[in-house]
Structure 1
Amino acid sequence: MQIPSLLKITIIFTLCVILMGAYTRLSDAGLGCPDWPGCYGMLKVPSQAHELSQVQATFPGHEVEPKKAWLEMIHRYIAGALGLLVLLIFILCLKKDEAPKKLPGLIALLIVFQAALGMWTVTMKLMPVVVMSHLIGGFSLIALLLLLYLRTKPLRIPGGDAIARKLAPLALICLGVLILQIIIGGWTSSNYAALACTTLPICEGDWYNNLKLAQAFNPFQGEHDTYEFGVLDYASRMTIHVVHRFWAVVTAAMLFWLAFKLYQQSQSSLLKRSALLLVLLVCLQVALGISNVVLHLPLGVAVSHNAGAALLLLNLVFINYALWRKA
């Protein structure tokens, strides 16, 4: 199989892993298996009588919850398969003289670090900074895979030089703004702050006088037996949620402006379609964010919100690549 074809498969597979991770996290199944990489010391979820007896002997006080445990293990299985795909891409790139070398190496290192973060997520009992880092690692992985795919499929954009001089800096700023919003979203999710505000457009009550920025964004939250369901007080969670909403407004405005300028100035039909897709994705993401609040975080909507963020990131990576390459 050619490297570009394998990369396309791997990008889709990475998106599935990200969504499965989000589904597992939002189903409160992140500690469905209290150990790593197996589940209660086994390669599958224990279900037989002798297996459950072994669990009681090895993990006293723990009760196997099959649904949560299987969600966690399926996530680990497909993440392991993704690791093998990344390794295969790395090997193929090393063998082909014309293929990039540094970027595949970086991606291979990232997948190893992602595995470590997956382990620490469990062993550190869902410590928010680790959970958020694991989420950001997944988004970084899919972005780098797309970048590698684009490196193997050179683009030719009509009038590219003129567009790049005008819009490339704006596109890069927008990418940074979006990345920060994804990080804040990860912090919101890992601290169980998604439902800290249940009214629109901002938050209920005297929210302004209850903001606790220092406590809300402090990665060091003390020692706890578990961080499941969060350890921050309401005011801190509310602060995280409010910041996520405010920065979402900034992000949407910036991305709409980029899309407008790109559609207005670009001579490339490909970039014009990318601009229209950007508008569509931003509108969809805003609608999903509002739905999460109004409908009290339904699982399908919350997972779709993660998917929307990933697709926005991929679209902006493509736009930046097209503009900065000046092909």
Structure 2
Amino acid sequence: MFLLQMGATAICIALLPLSYVWIKASDDKFRKLVWVTTFLTLDLIMFGGFTRLTDSGLGCPDWPGCYGTASPFLAHAQIAAAHAALPSGPVSMVKAWIEMIHRYFATAIGVLIIAQTASAWVARIKRKSLHVSPWWPTALLLLIVVQGAFGAWTVTLKLQPVIVTTHLLLGLTLLGSLAWFAARLTPLPAYEPEIARYRAAALAGLVLLAIQLALGGWVSTNYAVLACTDFPTCNGQWIPPMNFAQGFHLWRALGMTGNGEVITQDALVAIHWTHRTFAFVVIAYLAGLALKMRRYESLRRPATGVLIVLALQFATGLSNIVLQWPLPIAVAHNGGAAVLLLLVVMLNFRTASSRLGRAAVAPREAAPA
């Protein structure tokens, strides 16, 4: 019964953006729906970061409900008992609500992607052109099912770092895939075939960013942000003592080594130092690439966005260290990484489209935004 209640809650949430698309969109409701879903997925990733950073991931220690109910309201007695038994533990009414709101929101995104999939296949049956294969939203639906499974394992395996990091990376993969999908439905700027030569460089930038996102996720899920307490050195040294074998042993419990012992400070330093050092490689490469791409009209806006977000990411990353990891800045750093991914995906899409010598949607056939 509680699953039906949770499903009804998610549908009610999803009805808000669906109503917006139905009321506001002109002839191209499908494109609007994909863009709205992309924006809400970005919001979900940021709220997921907030959930993790507030230690709310186990606010409801079962899945998908909260102590077998659809709402923390209904689990008030169990939550109160768990909090009274361990006041400093992961369970409290506030944390339970944060965790459940995240789950409601994630399920609502699933409802929106189901709506995309159904619309695309109905259009195929009716022979109505959407300028994209219905297998695109179908693949996204499968991706969000896998993402949901990792969300469940995040709770049942007690925030095991490799599971939480994979959950984050799958969310970012969903965001990037939605952005690419939305771009395919949107008219491109003026055709500039010469930007096709940047295709390989843009792809390399995306790969470097993906590695950095994985390293950042590993820092966050291991709570290694404050392993280095100064900058540009780390604990007063350029190359501090580090234990890479412990730090990058993947299958282990949170705060523990692969042998079941408490993880050492040197292991946490290795995690932090690797992410910090590789950040300079990513910043240098993407900044240089964006400066070159700004010369082209069709790439100017996303390239400028990359430069701005890189600067903000450096500032928020440094502030996390200097200001001892304040929650708003930590959430902003997580969100900035997701926005940077969106921009780099846009650069890859536009260079790839120019190489193919076509627009995503013929401007004369596309509905106005």
Whether the TM-score (by the shorter chain) exceeds 0.5 is yes
- Using the alignment, how far apart are the partners of 1:231 and 1:257 within structure 2? 42
- Within the candidate set 234, 239, 242, 2:270 is matched to 239
- Post-superposition Cα deviations, 1:228-273, rounded to whole Å, max 9, x if no partner, equal xx95211111001000001110010001111111123x2x2x3112
Whether the aligned pair in 2 keeps the contact of 1:39 and 1:46 (CA below 8 Å) is no
Q: Aligned partner of 1:6: which letter? A: L
- Using the alignment, how far apart are the partners of 1:61 and 1:224 within structure 2? 22
Deviation for aligned residue 1:199: 0.2
- Using the alignment, how far apart are the partners of 2:146 and 2:94 within structure 1? 27
Deviation for aligned residue 1:217: 1.1
Number of equivalences = 316
Partner of 2:313: 285
Deviation for aligned residue 1:20: 1.0
- Within the candidate set 310, 325, 344, 1:297 is matched to 325
Deviation for aligned residue 1:121: 0.4
Would you say 1:256 and 2:278 are equivalent positions?
A: no
Whether the aligned pair in 1 keeps the contact of 2:255 and 2:263 (CA below 8 Å) is no
Whether the aligned pair in 1 keeps the contact of 2:80 and 2:92 (CA below 8 Å) is no
Partner of 1:164: 196
- Within the candidate set 108, 124, 138, 2:141 is matched to 108
- Using the alignment, how far apart are the partners of 1:320 and 1:96 within structure 2? 28
Q: Secondary structure of the residue that 1:219 maps to in structure 2?
A: coil
- Using the alignment, how far apart are the partners of 2:326 and 2:84 within structure 1? 34
Whether the aligned pair in 2 keeps the contact of 1:157 and 1:322 (CA below 8 Å) is no
Deviation for aligned residue 1:154: 3.8
- Using the alignment, how far apart are the partners of 1:46 and 1:286 within structure 2? 41
- Using the alignment, how far apart are the partners of 2:110 and 2:321 within structure 1? 35
Would you say 1:20 and 2:53 are equivalent positions?
A: no
- Using the alignment, how far apart are the partners of 2:180 and 2:329 within structure 1? 28
Gapped runs of 5+ residues in structure 2?
1-21, 23-28, 359-369
Q: Secondary structure of the residue that 2:191 maps to in structure 1?
A: coil
Partner of 1:204: 235
- Cα pair distance change 1:294/1:118, threshold 3 Å: same
Q: Secondary structure of the residue that 1:195 maps to in structure 2?
A: helix
- Using the alignment, how far apart are the partners of 1:274 and 1:27 within structure 2? 32
Q: Aligned partner of 1:85: which letter? A: L
- Using the alignment, how far apart are the partners of 2:262 and 2:299 within structure 1? 45
Would you say 1:276 and 2:304 are equivalent positions?
A: yes
Would you say 1:217 and 2:248 are equivalent positions?
A: yes
Q: Aligned partner of 1:40: which letter? A: Y
Would you say 1:129 and 2:167 are equivalent positions?
A: no
Gapped runs of 5+ residues in structure 1?
none
- Post-superposition Cα deviations, 1:25-64, rounded to whole Å, max 9, x if no partner, equal 000111111101111111111468xx516986x9996775
TM-score calculated relative to the size of structure 2: 0.80
Q: Aligned partner of 2:195: which letter? A: I
Q: Aligned partner of 1:252: which letter? A: I
Would you say 1:176 and 2:207 are equivalent positions?
A: yes
Q: Aligned partner of 1:109: which letter? A: L
- Using the alignment, how far apart are the partners of 1:272 and 1:94 within structure 2? 35
Q: Aligned partner of 1:24: which letter? A: T
Identity across matched positions, percent: 39
- Within the candidate set 147, 150, 153, 1:117 is matched to 150
